[in-house]
Each structure stands twice: as structure tokens, then as C-alpha cells.
Structure 1
Amino acid sequence: MSNPIPKEKMTAYQRWELASFDAERPPVTPPDVRLDVPPAEAAQVAGEIETPPQEPPLALPTAEEIERVHHEAHTAGYTAGYSTGYAAGYAAGYDEGIKAAQAVATDMASLMDHLQQALAAIDQDVAEQLLVLAIEIANQVLRQSLHVQPELILPVVREAVTALHPHHGQPLLFVHPDDAALVRSHLGEQLAHANWRIIDDKTLSAGGCRVELGASEVDATLETRWRRVIEAIGVSQEWLKARE
């Protein structure tokens, strides 16, 4: 006969006792329903268990939502198109700007080159005009000096007659009539001693003379002496006449 198990050692099984017929029977709780949860959550859990899930009804967008979506799409498209177009336009404009700047720089360089050439030509022309003016002033000063001091013809005559040494024949001295009287009064005796003959020549300018002895000649006219002066400074008579 098996030994009885003490009451305090019973764990998984409860000792069965006959209940009282008058006592109130305790409520039976479903195994999946927790008694400690609120009634609302319990009802929701029970509903989820008993009722199969249903798809929510399809909600159509309102006119305001459609307008908003259209506006956002338009704005996004405009922004994207503007950014792309701006980048492409900037690149193209930059290239065109570089080409335009290079063209302007080339034109400016050509203009500066022409300007420098023009300035050089102007400087040369101004220098030539100043030279012509200086020569003309010197010429006028010389003629005025001879007019004020006619005795300046005397050293010219002395130099001309000493350039020839007459051994035979008749040496001739040609001077302007206004100078002839002055030469005779100052050099007449000296020239007569050397057998010189003084001849008045209206074709000569005052202040000059010409000497002849046979086939030899000394040109000491005012024009010839002046030409030698300007040639000494590198100016030809032809150039001077062209500039005048």
C-alpha cells in the first residue's frame, strides 16, 4: 500500500475537496484574457482575436491637396530647371566672356600700337617743323643783321679774294650795288693794288659776293653760305624747300 503524501508537499496538483453547494462559484477567466488589463484594452484584444482585420477605406485626395501637390511639383521642376539652365548659361556666358575679353585685348593692343606709331610720327613731324622754324629764324636774323650792319660784308670779301692768288689775268669781285660803295671805301685801295676790279651785280643779294679769275670761281653769295650752314647740321636744301 502506497504511503500518503503530506498536504504541504503538494505542488502541481491541488487536493480535491468537495465544495459546498451553497457557496458562490468563482468566475471562469478565459486563458488568453488578462484580468489586470483595463476593460477597453481587453475588449480591443478580444475584438482582434475574434474579428479578422479589415483594410481601411480608400481616402481620395481633396482639391486643396491636389493643388498643393501640383504646386510643389511645379516649384520643384522650376527650381531644378533653373539650376540646370543657370549652370549651362553661366558656362556658356563665361566662355563667350573670355572670347570677348580676348578680342577686346587684341583690339586694344592694335590700337595702342597704331597710337604709338601715330605719336612717333607726330613727334617726328613736330621735330621737323621746329627745325624748319629754327632755320627760318636764323636766316631772318642773318639778313636783318646784314641790313643793320652792312660792314659784315667786309670779312666775307677778304676771305673770298684770298681764296684766289692772281698771277695773271684780271680778277673780278661781284657785289651788290649797296655793298659796292662800302667795299670800295674800306678795301678799294688794297684791292686795286692787287689788280682787283669791283663790279656791281644786282642779281646778288646784299651781304654776299662772287669772285672770278679765269676759269676759277669762289661763290661767297649769301644763299651759298647759308646752304653750307644748314648742310653742316644735316639739312639739305631740297628737304628744306619741301618743308617750307
Structure 2
Amino acid sequence: MPTSERALRQFRGLASDSEFVDGRSELRGDHASDAGDGRAAGNRGAPRQAGFESFAAPAGRAPQKNGWQRWQMVSLDPRKAAPAPAEFMPLEPAPPPIDFAALDAMREGARKEGYAQGYTQGQTQGYGDGHREGYARGLEGARTEAAHLQQLAATFSHALGRVDEEVAQTLISLALDVARQLVQQAVQADPAVLLPAVRELLAAEPALSGSPCLLLNPEDVTLVETHLTGELQAAGWSVRADPAIARGGCVASAASGELDATLSTRWSRVVKALGRDDPWEPPHA
């Protein structure tokens, strides 16, 4: 008989006479009392014990893997509690489905809001910048226009001054021309206008000395002698005709000096007082 079958039969006979308590085999009934009597009863139980031990794997040797393994009874110890069941974890609810239409609406709303804010901000900033730039340009233009107007005013004032000066000089020239003509006409119309000039020479200071002589136009000699003979003799003056002297004028000549009362000389004094240099004889004369 094979060894494995013989060992199995021995195990079955031993198992019928014993109980397993907590994984250990104990003899049942009379086998237990025989085991308690000592070594005398050991001869009967020894073969069974030896047979049971022979079922175990030899000491120091690992059991061979031949498809057979040692049977062990499940422990009934109440102290070993069964493992607690795994804690029940509630399942998380499934996420709601994505509403792409709502996302598109939110995106479009955000885009419109951003556009509106940007437009408002840009418009405000643009108005502010435009106002400042327009104000600066307007101020610069006003300053330029004011400077131009000041220049025009200065030019106009200068031109007006020149006009005033030209008008004044023109008026003076006109007045001198009129005066020249009036004098000439007066001399021709009334030769007696010469007499006041002769009296001024006789009364001039300092008095002439050294045979003073009154030079007259030949046409005026008779007039002067008729009206001033006594005064001339009293002053010691003599009268002499000089064709170089124009009618209406005279010259007092002496060793001490000369007094010129001709019309051209008196005319020069007048025009110089007016700041002009118009000759007594006009260019068209």
C-alpha cells in the first residue's frame, strides 16, 4: 500500500477517537484516561501518536509541493472578531451636464460689457484728450493771431504816423507856397510893406557904425526917401540903389557889419523855424 494512503487511514482512525480544541487534538473517552495513567498506557497510545506525528512534515525540512496539504480546522474562538465591514462611502452625485449655450451667452455678455466699458473709457479719455489738445491749439492760435494783430496795429500806427507826418508836411508846404505867393502879391500890390522892415533895421541893436548905408531895389528908393528921410538922416544912414536886391527887401551895410532884410533871407528864417528848407524862389518859378 502506498505510504500516503496508509497515512490517510491512520489519520482517519485517530480523528475518530479525538477532538480538536483550539487547533489541538485531544483523546476522547477512555483514550484520555489511558493517557493520564502515565507511561504504562503509553505503549497503546504511542503507535497512534507516532502515526499522527508521522503525518507532519519532518523537522528541518520544508513540505514538498505535491498537491497535498495539511488539513486544519477553522478556529471557533469568539475573541477573534470578524473584520468590520468596510465603511460605506456615499457616492458623489454626478456633475450636471455642461450648458454650452449658457456659457456662450455668458461669454457674449462679458464681451459686450467689456466692449461697452472700453468704449466709454475710450470715449471719455478721447474727449478729455481732444479738449486739452483743442484748447492748447486754440490758445496757440489765439496767441499767434494776437501777435499778428499787434503787428498790424504797430504797422498801422506807424503808417498813420507817417500819414500824419506826410499830411503835416504837405500842409506846411502848401501853407508856405500860399505865404510865398501872398508876400509876392503884397509887395507888388503895396510896395509900402517894405517900410516896416527898414524901421526894424534902424532900431536893431547894436547899432551899425562906420558910415552905414541902406541898399534898396531901384524901384523902392523913392518910396523910402519919401517916408523915412528924417529917420535916416538922424541915424546917419545914406540910401543907395542895388538892382541885385529884389523889390520889397533891403540890406543895411556898414564898416561894423551887415544886416540882411531881403525877402529870401526872411523867408529862410521862417521855414527853418518850421523845420523845413524850402527856398524863397520855388522850383516852378
Q: Which residue pairs with 2:167 in the alignment? A: 130
Higher Rg: 2
Shift of 1:199: 0.6
Q: In the alignment, what sits opposite 1:161?
A: 201
Work out which of the residue numbers 218, 226, 244 in structure 2 matches 1:201. Answer: 244
Give the match for residue 77 of structure 1: 114
Q: Tell me the equivalent position of 1:26.
A: none
Q: Aligned equivalents of 2:248 and 2:244: distance in 1? A: 12
Listed one character per residue, the Cα deviations across residues 94-146 of structure 1 (whole Å, up to 9, x for unaligned) are: 22233223323432443343333323323322222222122212211122213
Taking a change above 3 Å as real, the CA distance of residues 200 and 73 of structure 1, as seen in their structure-2 partners, is same
Q: Is residue 252–residue 259 contact of structure 2 (8 Å, CA) maintained in 1?
A: yes
Q: Deviations over 1:172-220 (max 9, x none)?
A: 4254xxxx41x12421344685412121116x5x644433223422232
Could you list the per-position Cα deviations for residues 43-98 of structure 1 after superposition, in whole angstroms to 9, with x for gaps in the alignment?
Answer: xxxxxxxxxxx869736546x994x6665454333322221112222222222233
Count of residue pairs the alignment pairs up:
178
Name the TM-score, length of structure 1 as normaliser: 0.55
Structure 1 residues 208, 102: CA separation in 2 closer, same or farther (over 3 Å shift)? farther
Indicate if the aligned counterparts of 2:249 and 2:262 stay in contact, CA closer than 8 A.
yes
- Distance in 2 of aligned mates of 1:139 and 1:60: 111
| Secondary structure of 1:196 counterpart | strand
1:236 maps to 275
2:273 pairs with 1:221: no
Equivalent residue number for residue 171 of structure 1 = 213
Residues 253 and 259, structure 2, Cα contact 8 Å, conserved in 1: yes
| 1:120 paired residue among 147, 157, 172 | 157
Matched, 1:86 2:123: yes
Equivalent residues in 2 for 1:17-166, closer than 5 Å: 58=97, 60-61=99-100, 66=104, 72-150=109-187, 151=190, 153-155=193-195, 157-163=197-203, 165=207
Change (3 A) 1:57 1:91: closer
Is the CA contact (8 Å cut-off) linking 2:250 and 2:260 kept in structure 1? yes
Quote the Cα distance in structure 1 between the aligned partners of 2:151 and 2:106: 66
In 2, Cα distance between equivalents of 1:226 and 1:73: 102
CA shift, 1:158, in A, is 1.9
The answer for unaligned runs of 5 or more in structure 1 is: 1-53
What SS does the aligned partner of 1:149 have? helix
| 1:237 counterpart letter in structure 2 | R
* Counterpart secondary structure, 1:201: coil
AA of the residue aligned to 1:195: S
How big is the shift at 1:160?
4.8
Q: What amino acid is aligned across from residue 169 of structure 1 in structure 2?
A: S
Letter of the structure 1 residue corresponding to residue 242 of structure 2: I
| Structure 2 match to 1:11 | none
Letter aligned with residue 135 of structure 2: I
Aligned-residue CA RMSD (Å): 3.7
Alpha-carbon contact 1:146-1:207 (below 8 Å) kept: no
Q: 1:73 to 1:154 in 2, by over 3 A?
A: same
Amino acid at match of 1:220: A
Q: 1:87 to 1:58 in 2, by over 3 A?
A: same
Instruction: Show structure 2 runs of 5+ residues with no match.
Output: 1-92, 280-285
Question: Are the structure 2 counterparts of residues 98 and 169 from structure 1 closer, same or farther at C-alpha, using a change threshold of 3 Å?
Answer: same
SS of 2:211's equivalent in the other structure is: coil
Q: Percent same amino acid among aligned pairs?
A: 24
In the alignment, does 2:225 pair up with 1:188? yes
Q: Deviations over 1:155-184 (max 9, x none)?
A: 454245324555532514254xxxx41x12
**Residues 170 and 162 (structure 1), Cα distance of their counterparts in 2 relative to 1, 3 Å cut:** closer
